[in-house]
């Protein structure tokens, strides 16, 4: 399993000089946006072209990030449509446990 770096909030900028690879930095930003509701359940996250524009990254970096998010269970990719936020297995149970103490 890949360790997603901490400290990248929803508005964080990527740092090509950082020890963490850009695709992991971007994954952390997108996960933060999913967690805070910027990209709610069932909605599409930005596609490859949009990620390239917003973050100034290469196509391969954007693709690798979206593949990682799919492998981690954050999104489901539909060819020709995009990548959509899905309910992560166990995520609801974890939220229920947090709220009940």
User: What is the reported pTM?
Assistant: 0.86
What pLDDT is recorded for position 51?
98
Give me the tens of pLDDT residue by residue for the chain, a chain 101 residues long. 789 999 899 999 999 999 999 999 999 999 999 999 999 999 999 999 999 999 999 999 999 999 999 999 999 999 999 999 999 875 543 444 344 44
What pLDDT is recorded for position 96?
41
Answer yes or no: are the C-beta atoms of 2 and 68 closer than 8 Å. yes
Residue-wise DSSP of 29-84: HHHHHHHTTSS-TTPBPP-HHHHHHHHT--HHHHHHHHHHHHHTTSEEEETTTEEE
What pLDDT is recorded for position 2?
85
**CA 63 remoteness from chain centre:** 11
What pLDDT is recorded for position 88?
80
Alpha carbons 69 and 49: distance in angstroms, whole number:
16
Q: For 44, left (φ over 0), alpha (ψ -120 to 50), or beta?
A: beta
């Amino acid at each position: 399993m890949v360790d997603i770096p901490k400290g990248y909030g929803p508005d964080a900028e990527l740092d090509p000089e950082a020890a963490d690879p850009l695709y992991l930095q971007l994954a952390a930003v997108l996960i933060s946006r999913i967690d805070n509701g910027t990209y709610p359940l069932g909605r599409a996250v930005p596609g490859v072209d949009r990620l390239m524009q917003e973050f100034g990254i290469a196509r391969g970096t954007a693709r690798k990030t979206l593949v990682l998010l799919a492998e981690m269970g954050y999104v489901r990719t539909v060819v020709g449509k995009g990548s959509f936020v899905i309910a992560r297995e166990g995520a609801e149970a974890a939220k229920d446990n947090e709220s009940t103490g």
